[in-house]
Amino acid sequence: MTRDATRSDDASAALARVITSQAGAQSADENFPVALRLLPRRHRQHLAAVYGFARSADDMGDEAPPGERLRLLDELDADLSRLYAGPGGEAPRLEVIQALAPAVAQCAIPAQPFRDLIQANRQDQQVTRYQTFDELLAYCRLSANPVGRIVLHVFGAATPHRERLSDLVCTALQLAEHWQDVAAPKTCSTMRPTGFADRRQ
């Protein structure tokens, strides 16, 4: 690896640490902390850690300098691998991944839902419009459904049947969010998948 490449990797790692450390602070401006107060105390820490991860991935994909986004997401993915490597491996470096450790251990959350969320943000850097409804549903399987599956694990309620039901709910919520983002009103009879499938305007 060249000196310039090493310097670039170090800069990306530093930026990743800044973004992940800010994720928790930024959540204070949203309604998530209010929702946590309504839940059993034993679940709050785990859900806050999951939120911090999801918020960090979104911030890396949406708010970071465009040229750094994929590199930052790679850093987040690499640190997730450190967490799942288990005892004897290198410890996670990012605060947001360190915070996930108790939830992963105590709730047996698999790695794949977290990786899917990262992949959704990678996809956002390359795809801005989905040409078919099936393509949009495939995106929802990465960007929305993993959250429901993680939450089921946190509550000790994950079963194949419940995961399928959760996927339906999460996909529906994601589609509703896309429809809200449509710039021009359209009637149901004229709406096409490509009319509401834009990830960014």
Rounded Cα–Cα distance for residues 196 and 32 (Å): 26
Show me where the domains of the chain are located.
1-108, 127-201
Q: Residue 137 burial (CB < 10 Å; 0-12/13-18/19+)?
A: middle
Mean pLDDT in consecutive groups of 10 residues from the start of the chain, 201 residues: 50 58 55 67 88 93 93 96 91 94 96 98 93 95 97 97 98 91 52 40 40
pLDDT in the model for residue 177: 87
Q: What pLDDT shows up at residue 198?
A: 45
How many beta carbons lie within 10 A of that of residue 34, not counting itself? 8
Residue bearing tokens 């930052």: 72
Looking at residue 192, what is its pLDDT? 38
DSSP state of 30: S
- Reported pTM: 0.79
**pLDDT score for 106:** 96
Kindly give the interhelix angle for 112-124 and 133-143, rounded to the nearest 10 degrees.
130
pLDDT at residue 128 in the model: 87
Q: Which two tokens stand for residue 7?
A: 């310097």
pLDDT at 25: 53
Check residue 14 and give its pLDDT. Answer: 61
